[in-house]
Amino acid sequence: MTYLTRDPIVVSALIAEVAAPQCGGTCVFLGTVRDAPQDGGVTGIEYSAYEAMAVAELDRLLAEARKRWPETRLAVRHRLGLVPTEEASIGIAAAAPHRTAAFEACRYVIEEAKKRLPIWKKELRADGTALWVDPAGRPAVVGPEGTP
């Protein structure tokens, strides 16, 4: 299974991967590159990874999710390389017999992926500069919801 891709994420392919007759609920999460006009505009993000470890870590966290929600089917893609604003950097599909497990498993995978995957991003600004993003330390990447 390859979770990492340099091509655009195809949502219909993720859904097809988890589709099964016993599943009555499918939850899809997309993380997309967003502009940050207050920082002079972001045109895209360059993603890089410790690829072998990212794959190993995804194997581990998907195994955890499958143990916790045993009937849930999961598919994940994380994009690497340049991802323009508005395009998806991560796509997750979770299908389960009922919606609660689909929502919970999908949420678990994105939250753990953000904490654990050895993936880094360099923000490309409209003025031609590029900055490594530290989600914990730099206000530029704090969203309107006030998180990292």
Partner 1 sequence: MATGTVQVRFFARYAELAGCETTAVSVAVPATVADVVRQVREAIPGAALLPERPLAAVNMRHVRLDAPVNDGDEVAFLPPVAGG
The one among 8, 35, 48, 100 contacting partner 1 by CB under 8 A: 48
Q: Which of 137, 124, 140 is nearest to 87 (CA)?
A: 124
CB nearer to partner 1: give 14 or 23: 14
- Interaction of residue 52 with partner 1, rule CB under 8 A: yes
- 36: phi then psi, degrees, rounded to nearest 5: -140, 80
Burial class (CB in 10 A: 0-12, 13-18, 19+), 17: middle
Site membership for partner 1, residue 134 (CB under 8 A): yes
118 binds partner 1, rule: CB under 8 A: yes
Find where tokens 């590029």 sit. 130
Q: Binding to partner 1 by residue 136, rule CB under 8 A?
A: yes
Contact stretch for partner 1 (CB under 8 A) within 14-22, 35-43, 98-106, 126-134: 126-134
β-pair partners for 125: 42
Q: Which of 96, 119 has the CB closer to partner 1?
A: 119
CB 80 to partner 1: min, Å:
10
Q: How far apart are CA 73 and CA 105, in angstroms?
A: 9
Q: Smallest distance from the beta carbon of 36 to partner 1, in angstroms?
A: 14
Provide, rounded to whole angstroms, the least separation between the CB of residue 140 and partner 1. Answer: 12
3-state secondary structure 74-124: EEEEEECEEEECCCEEEEEEEEECCHHHHHHHHHHHHHHHHHHCCEEEEEE
Q: What residues make contact with partner 1 under the rule CB under 8 A?
A: 31, 47-50, 52-54, 56-57, 78, 89-90, 110, 113-122, 132-137, 141
